């Protein structure tokens, strides 16, 4: 569609264009100065203008007007150049003779050419310098014969009317009187010449007179009759010819009129509008190089200086010159193919002078011509700018800035300096440039959008026809459906916006600070109208609907981003533009549908977890890795759910992912909680602390106590079995399987999280911060539940093994009766078997932790036997070595000759036990003294009169009163017995 609007020549290479303007297609660019009303050709106007120019520049003597090219001026010294006042061209030979650059060009902002018409017309350096008349003759395409005749006629006129100025003559009339048919090569040329001069008289005196004509004016009637007669038969000319006398009488009567009715010395025959402007235009066009019509000659300063000598005859002034010169520069750009941007730039700079003139004058005639000229320029510019996407592209974008600048300059003068409406308003209320650019942007983008929509509709019709013709074959091949029309349109609009931002907005921003913002706001509104109709018809999230909404969302984000970036430095931060872009709410529509999809998936997953956990047997031999099959399945479902989510054709995965992740995390947390439930804790298996008592080995009541203790232990074990539902799902292998399961889940969480990050990186809507911060994409609840569950299971297993499974060799066997006959070996044997089973069952990452917890539990159990083992146990000071040796054997079991736990870890957790064991080798008196001192330090002065009974803390420490007291209670000697009886009235024997 663009070719219907784009100027064919805009952006074409200058080298591809010919130097002759006749080769260029003449665009529809009517003259703003009005029609002459008679059949004047450009050559006739040019010849008339040339006659006026030569006449205005004629000398009082017989010397010609000399012209010296710039190159020869530089080569010659200033002293060799004539400054004779007798030559009217002497002003050309002053300082300019040594100046290579044109002041006029510099003022217009144009580049200097490397060649000049002077060089072109001087094929050899030896040729004498040409005259200014010769330069103008070449530039105005006047033949040498015509030039010779004009100069000869002017000499004759000057000879016959010495001292008379040209402005007091009617030049066509004088020339008609000086020449006859014999002065021309043939009769036809003479008749053509005569008719031209008579047409000039008709145009200047009858059609466009300086002063309005009275209908009753007899002179005008006579002149019409004479011209009409001459059109039928050439009139006789000559000095004493009667027809010439009649012509002179009528012409002079009309030309010498004045406003006050008196006879004026000045003749007004070529200074009526628009004839004078058209003639002056012909003279200004001589400033363009005849051999390169887009270039202004280097000698433009000299030419314009002489052209201005015609002002008296043509009724011109500086204001009209500035206006006419602006038009000539602009028109030359248009008619020469719109390839030389320097011309537009120059015209724009010249309009700056016109703007000054418009502010300084209220002349109604000038204002009328000004308005017409600027309207013509503005009309031509706006024809391209109101649909600039069809006119400009990367190849010719340079010309756009010049055209916009020219159009804005014209509009400013028309509105600010001519419009009365504008003057009534405060200037700060009207920003002409910004308003114009705003109009151009909105108009052009609406046009471009309409064309894009039309193209998409045309493509859709073709697609539908192809689908009908080829539906069976396409379905059999399972080809994907083509993009919906609105998705294609969104893509095209996105490209249009990006193109606007990159190519056009940088130019338009000079006049409108929010050029890109206005553009995208316009496109946003255009596409939004189409989208509203589409959304109103959506009933479900079909692939086409998702694709359109996704495309719309992506387009909106792109448009808003451009608007935001464009308005960073604006006063309101772009709020006004953003208000023009109400959200499409496509994202909300998609989000609601995705949330429904998510809820369905999560409900289904939770039901599956509950159903499968009821059937899980926690058999570590179900697979090689030793974890529950249900965990494999739940992780697979979560993985498939995430894959399905990221495969949804939606634009906001990062925004909707947290809701899905929260739901999956809770489902997985539910699985983990169920997996560890019912397995017990440390307190489930640690036996109840016996009451603090005094005991003596061999007491007659010892057997009674032992029976009571065994009965309590049996009841405790039964109750513990009861908490595990009476089945075997909480045995050592099953607990190992549960731990393996939680560890496997924990490992898979890391894999899932990395996979989610990979998915996010592939999402076009995700940002770096989204990936870095996670946006709640981690399984935080499940991770914490796994850690807590593994810790709980490890601890539960450790205390179950030590205090439940090995209770018969620990609690019921170790140091019962005589310590030397009930040592630790049976415990070590069974403990080692359990450790072997656990090591072979649990995963590597859990093994050390489990064995460490068992070690801690066994150390605690060992101390519990020594410090709270009940009245069946009593130790003498001599038994301390046995205890030390047994504890060393216990530690060696975990060290396993270097194949077990690290020495540092064993030492770390055996520190308390080793410290407490030193008490068993300490003499009773020292223990009693230490107990007194520690108790006083703990309870202060209140303990001096009576030592309080310290509470049982179960946190054993050799500096803690309760620990010291328990060592004394289990010390089998008289000193301990007396101290306990005296201090706490504990019986010597039970």
DSSP secondary structure string, 883-899?
HHHHHHHHHHHHHGGGT
3-state SS, residue 288: strand
For residue range 288-335, what is the model confidence (pLDDT) as tens digits?
Answer: 988 888 899 888 888 999 999 999 999 999 999 999 999 999 999 999
Average pLDDT on 463-472 reads: 53
Q: Which residues contact 462 (CB under 8 A, 6 or more apart)?
A: none
Residues 276 and 183 in one domain: yes
Average pLDDT on 67-75 reads: 46
Flag whether 703 is in a domain: no
Tally of CB atoms within 10 A around 216: 7
Per the DSSP assignment, residues forming a β-bridge with 296 are 288
For residue range 31-57, what is the model confidence (pLDDT) as tens digits?
Answer: 899 888 888 899 999 999 999 999 988
CA–CA separation, 253 and 737 (whole Å): 128
Flag whether 884 is in a domain: no
Residues 574 and 601 in one domain: no
Does 795 score more than 80 pLDDT? yes
Q: Mean pLDDT lowest for which of 362-371, 413-422, 862-871? A: 413-422
Does 81 score more than 60 pLDDT? no
Q: What is the CATH number of the domain that holds 579?
A: 1.20.58
- What are the CA-CA distances from residue 348 to residues 286, 400, 409 (Å)? 20, 13, 7
CA–CA separation, 521 and 563 (whole Å): 8
Encoded tokens for 835: 């450790």
For residue range 917-928, what is the model confidence (pLDDT) as tens digits?
Answer: 999 999 999 999
Residues 560 and 597 in one domain: no
Q: Residues 853, 794: contact at Cβ < 8 Å? A: yes
Flag whether 853 is in a domain: no
Residues 649 and 527 in one domain: no
3-state SS, residue 389: helix
Average pLDDT on 452-469 reads: 65
Q: Mean pLDDT lowest for which of 69-78, 96-105, 508-517? A: 69-78
Confidence band for 404, pLDDT divided at 50, 70 and 90? very high
For residue range 691-741, what is the model confidence (pLDDT) as tens digits?
Answer: 677 755 444 333 333 333 444 444 444 333 333 434 466 888 999 999 999
* Burial class of residue 851 in the structure, from the number of CB atoms within 10 Å of its CB (0-12 exposed, 13-18 middle, 19+ buried): buried
Q: Residues 214, 197: contact at Cβ < 8 Å? A: no
Residue 428: the pLDDT is 52
Q: Which among 132, 142, 117, 135 is positioned nearest to 46, based on CA atoms?
A: 142
Q: Residues 280, 310: contact at Cβ < 8 Å? A: yes
Radius of gyration of the chain (CA): 56
Residue 952: the pLDDT is 81
Q: Which among 273, 258, 257 is positioned nearest to 365, based on CA atoms?
A: 273
Does 118 score more than 70 pLDDT? no
Q: Residues 696, 988: contact at Cβ < 8 Å? A: yes
Flag whether 281 is in a domain: yes
Residue 826: the pLDDT is 94
Does 469 score more than 60 pLDDT? no
- What are the CA-CA distances from residue 316 to residues 280, 320, 330, 767 (Å)? 8, 6, 20, 68
CA angle 808, 814, 820 (to 5 degrees): 145
Q: Which residues contact 540 (CB under 8 A, 6 or more apart)?
A: 593
Flag whether 851 is in a domain: no
Residue 541: the pLDDT is 66
Phi, psi of 10 (to 5 degrees): -65, 120
Residue 767: the pLDDT is 66
Residues 219 and 177 in one domain: yes
Q: Which residues contact 948 (CB under 8 A, 6 or more apart)?
A: 935, 939, 942
Residues 579 and 603 in one domain: no
Higher local confidence (pLDDT), 64 or 138: 138
Q: What is the CATH number of the domain that holds 624?
A: 1.10.357.50
Encoded tokens for 940: 């202060």
Last residue of a domain, one of 257, 284, 316: 316
Flag whether 115 is in a domain: no
Three-state DSSP string of 778-828: CCHHHHHHHHHHHHHHHHHHHHHHHHHHCCCCCCCCCCCECHHHCCCHHHH
Encoded tokens for 775: 């946006």
Does 117 score more than 90 pLDDT? no
Q: Residues 495, 448: contact at Cβ < 8 Å? A: no
Residues 679 and 570 in one domain: no
Tally of CB atoms within 10 A around 945: 6
Q: Residues 716, 688: contact at Cβ < 8 Å? A: yes
Confidence band for 79, pLDDT divided at 50, 70 and 90? very low
Last residue of a domain, one of 301, 316, 331: 316
Average pLDDT on 63-79 reads: 45
Confidence band for 419, pLDDT divided at 50, 70 and 90? low
CA–CA separation, 83 and 67 (whole Å): 13
Cis-peptide into 399, omega within 30 deg? no
3-state SS, residue 651: coil
Q: Residues 110, 345: contact at Cβ < 8 Å? A: yes
Confidence band for 456, pLDDT divided at 50, 70 and 90? confident
Percent of the chain surpassing pLDDT 90: 40
Q: Mean pLDDT lowest for which of 574-588, 691-705, 721-735, 878-892? A: 691-705
Residues 506 and 645 in one domain: no
Residues 546 and 629 in one domain: no
Confidence band for 15, pLDDT divided at 50, 70 and 90? very low
Residue 769: the pLDDT is 65
3-state SS, residue 77: coil
Confidence band for 551, pLDDT divided at 50, 70 and 90? confident
Last residue of a domain, one of 287, 316, 345: 316
Length of the chain: 990
Count how many domains the chain has: 4
For residue range 951-969, what is the model confidence (pLDDT) as tens digits?
Answer: 887 688 999 999 999 999 9
Tally of CB atoms within 10 A around 108: 21
Helix (H) or strand (E) holding 162: none
CA–CA separation, 88 and 111 (whole Å): 29
Owning domain of residue 765: 593-685+729-804
Does 609 score more than 60 pLDDT? yes
Flag whether 790 is in a domain: yes
Q: Which among 853, 879, 878, 856 is positioned nearest to 866, based on CA atoms?
A: 879
Higher local confidence (pLDDT), 719 or 483: 483
Residue 28: the pLDDT is 64
Does 578 score more than 50 pLDDT? yes
Residues 551 and 670 in one domain: no
Per the DSSP assignment, residues forming a β-bridge with 66 are 131
* Burial class of residue 100 in the structure, from the number of CB atoms within 10 Å of its CB (0-12 exposed, 13-18 middle, 19+ buried): exposed
Does 218 score more than 50 pLDDT? yes
Encoded tokens for 88: 């009217």
Residue 718: the pLDDT is 39
CA–CA separation, 541 and 939 (whole Å): 75
- What are the CA-CA distances from residue 498 to residues 43, 398, 513, 611, 702 (Å)? 50, 18, 17, 54, 96
Three-state DSSP string of 388-420: HHHHCCHHHHHHHHHHHHHHHHHHHHHHHHHCH
- DSSP characters over 686-750: SPPPPPP----TT-TTHHHHHHHHHHHHHHHHHHHHHHTTTSSTTSHHHHHHHHHHHHHHHHHHH
Higher local confidence (pLDDT), 16 or 557: 557
CB < 8 Å & 24+ apart, contacts of 392-398: 392/10, 392/11, 392/503, 392/504, 393/6, 393/11, 393/503, 394/503, 395/11, 396/10, 396/11, 397/503, 397/504, 397/507, 398/341
CA–CA separation, 209 and 352 (whole Å): 31
Residue 320: the pLDDT is 95
Higher local confidence (pLDDT), 708 or 820: 820
Residue 348: the pLDDT is 92
Residue 927: the pLDDT is 93
For residue range 226-276, what is the model confidence (pLDDT) as tens digits?
Answer: 989 888 888 888 777 888 889 999 999 999 888 776 667 788 999 999 999
Q: Which among 128, 150, 113 is positioned nearest to 67, based on CA atoms?
A: 128
Residues 276 and 136 in one domain: yes
Q: Mean pLDDT lowest for which of 11-25, 39-53, 888-902? A: 11-25
Percent of the chain surpassing pLDDT 70: 80
CB < 8 Å & 24+ apart, contacts of 458-466: 459/485, 459/488, 460/485
3-state SS, residue 66: strand
Average pLDDT on 861-884 reads: 91
Does 586 score more than 80 pLDDT? no
**Residue-averaged pLDDT of the chain:** 81
CA–CA separation, 471 and 336 (whole Å): 55
For residue range 751-766, what is the model confidence (pLDDT) as tens digits?
Answer: 888 888 888 888 766 6
Sign of CA dihedral 536, 542, 548, 550: positive
- DSSP characters over 487-556: HHHHHHHHHHHHHIIIIIHHHHTTT-TTHHHHHHHHHHHHHHHHHHHHHTT--S--HHHHHHHHHHHHHH
Three-state DSSP string of 255-284: HCCCCCCCCCCCCCCCCCCCHHHHHHHHHH
Confidence band for 651, pLDDT divided at 50, 70 and 90? low
Per the DSSP assignment, residues forming a β-bridge with 288 are 296
Does 64 score more than 70 pLDDT? no
- What are the CA-CA distances from residue 816 to residues 698, 866, 898, 971 (Å)? 11, 10, 32, 14
Encoded tokens for 922: 């300490």
Q: Mean pLDDT lowest for which of 59-63, 796-800, 942-946? A: 59-63
Flag whether 835 is in a domain: no
Helix (H) or strand (E) holding 321: helix 318-335
CA–CA separation, 900 and 895 (whole Å): 5
Residues 308 and 182 in one domain: yes
Tally of CB atoms within 10 A around 127: 10
Residue 465: the pLDDT is 55
């Amino acid at each position: 569609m663009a070719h219907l609007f784009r100027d064919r020549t805009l952006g074409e290479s200058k080298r591809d264009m010919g130097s002759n303007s006749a080769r260029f297609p003449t665009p529809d660019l009517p003259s703003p100065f009005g029609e002459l009303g008679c059949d004047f050709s450009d050559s006739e106007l040019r010849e008339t203008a040339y006659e006026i120019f030569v006449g205005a520049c004629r000398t009082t003597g017989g010397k010609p007007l000399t012209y010296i090219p710039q190159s020869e001026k530089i080569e010659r010294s200033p002293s060799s150049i004539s400054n004779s006042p007798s030559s009217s061209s002497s002003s050309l030979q002053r300082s300019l003779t040594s100046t290579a650059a044109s002041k006029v060009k510099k003022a217009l902002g144009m580049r200097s050419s490397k060649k000049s018409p002077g060089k072109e017309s001087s094929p050899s350096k030896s040729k004498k310098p040409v005259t200014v008349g010769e330069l103008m003759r070449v530039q105005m395409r006047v033949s040498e014969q015509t030039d010779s005749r004009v100069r000869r006629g002017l000499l004759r006129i000057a000879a016959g009317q010495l001292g008379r100025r040209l402005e007091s003559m009617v030049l066509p009339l004088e020339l008609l009187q000086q020449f006859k048919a014999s002065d021309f090569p043939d009769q036809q040329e003479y008749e053509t010449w005569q008719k031209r001069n008579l047409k000039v008289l008709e145009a200047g005196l009858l059609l466009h007179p300086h002063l309005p004509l009275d209908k009753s004016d007899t002179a005008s009637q006579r002149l019409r009759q004479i011209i009409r007669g001459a059109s039928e038969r050439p009139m006789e000319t000559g000095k004493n010819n009667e027809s010439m006398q009649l012509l002179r009488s009528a012409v002079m009567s009309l030309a010498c009129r004045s406003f006050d009715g008196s006879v004026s010395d000045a003749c007004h025959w070529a200074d009526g509008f628009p004839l004078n402007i058209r003639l002056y235009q012909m003279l200004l066009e001589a400033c363009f190089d005849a051999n390169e019509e887009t270039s202004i000659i280097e000698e433009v300063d000299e030419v314009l200086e002489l052209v201005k000598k015609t002002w008296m005859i043509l009724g011109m002034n500086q204001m009209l010159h500035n206006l006419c010169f602006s038009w000539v520069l602009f028109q030359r750009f248009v008619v020469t193919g719109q390839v030389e941007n320097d011309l537009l730039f120059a015209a724009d700079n010249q309009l700056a002078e016109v703007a000054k003139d418009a502010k300084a004058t209220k002349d109604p005639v000038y204002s009328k011509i000004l308005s017409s000229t600027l309207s013509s320029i503005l009309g031509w510019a706006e024809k391209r700018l109101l649909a600039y996407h069809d006119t400009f592209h990367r190849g010719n974008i340079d010309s756009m800035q010049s055209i916009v600048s020219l159009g804005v300059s014209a509009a400013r003068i028309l509105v600010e300096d001519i419009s009365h409406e504008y003057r009534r308003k405060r200037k700060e209320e009207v920003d002409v440039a910004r308003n114009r650019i705003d109009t151009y942007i909105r108009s052009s983008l609406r046009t471009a959008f309409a064309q894009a929509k039309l193209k998409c509709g045309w493509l859709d019709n073709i697609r539908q026809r192809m689908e009908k013709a080829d539906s069976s074959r396409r379905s059999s091949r399972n080809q994907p459906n083509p993009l919906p029309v609105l998705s294609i349109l969104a893509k095209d609009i996105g490209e249009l916006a990006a193109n606007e931002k990159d190519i056009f907005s940088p130019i338009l921003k000079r006049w409108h600070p929010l050029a890109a913002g206005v553009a995208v706001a316009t496109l946003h509104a255009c596409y939004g109208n189409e989208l509203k109709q589409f959304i109103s018809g959506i009933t479900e999230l079909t692939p086409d609907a998702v694709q359109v909404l996704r495309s719309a969302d992506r387009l909106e984000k792109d448009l808003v981003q451009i608007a935001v970036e464009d308005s960073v430095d604006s006063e309101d931060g772009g709020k006004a533009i953003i208000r023009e872009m109400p959200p499409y709410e496509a994202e909300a529509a998609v989000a609601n549908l995705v949330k429904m999809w998510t809820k369905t998936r999560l409900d289904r997953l939770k039901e599956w977890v509950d159903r499968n956990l009821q059937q899980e047997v926690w058999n570590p031999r179900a697979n090689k890795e030793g974890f529950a099959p249900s965990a494999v399945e739940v992780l697979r479902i979560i993985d498939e759910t995430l894959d399905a989510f990221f495969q949804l054709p939606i634009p906001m995965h990062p925004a909707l992912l947290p809701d899905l992740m929260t739901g999956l995390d809770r489902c997985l947390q539910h699985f983990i909680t169920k997996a560890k439930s019912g397995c017990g804790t440390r307190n489930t298996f640690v036996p109840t602390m016996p009451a603090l008592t005094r005991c003596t080995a061999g007491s007659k009541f010892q057997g009674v106590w032992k029976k009571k203790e065994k009965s309590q232990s049996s009841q405790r074990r039964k109750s513990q079995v009861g908490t595990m539902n009476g089945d075997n799902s909480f045995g050592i292998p099953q607990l190992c399987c549960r731990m393996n399961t939680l560890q496997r889940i924990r490992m898979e969480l890391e894999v899932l999280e990395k996979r989610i990050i990979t998915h996010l990186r592939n999402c076009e809507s995700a940002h770096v911060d989204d990936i870095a911060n996670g946006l709640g994409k981690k399984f935080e609840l499940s991770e914490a539940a796994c850690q807590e569950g593994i810790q709980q299971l490890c601890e539960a297993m450790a205390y179950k093994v030590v205090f439940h499974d090995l209770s018969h060799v620990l609690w019921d066997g170790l140091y019962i009766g005589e310590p030397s006959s009930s040592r630790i070996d049976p415990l070590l044997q069974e403990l080692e078997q359990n450790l072997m089973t656990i090591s072979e069952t649990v995963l590597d990452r859990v093994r050390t932790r489990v064995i460490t917890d068992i070690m801690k539990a066994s150390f605690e159990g060992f101390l519990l036997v020594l410090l709270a083992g009940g009245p069946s146990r009593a130790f003498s000071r001599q038994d301390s070595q046995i205890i030390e040796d047994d504890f060393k054997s216990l530690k060696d079991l975990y060290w396993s000759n270097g194949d077990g736990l690290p020495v540092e870890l064993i030492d770390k957790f055996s520190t308390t036990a080793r410290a407490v064991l030193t008490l068993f080798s300490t003499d009773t008196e020292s223990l009693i003294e230490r107990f007194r001192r520690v108790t006083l330090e703990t309870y202060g002065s209140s303990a001096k009169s009576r030592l309080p009974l310290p509470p049982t803390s179960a946190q054993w420490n050799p500096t803690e009163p309760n620990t010291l007291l328990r060592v004394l209670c289990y010390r089998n000697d008289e000193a301990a017995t007396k101290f306990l009886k005296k201090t706490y009235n504990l019986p010597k024997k039970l």
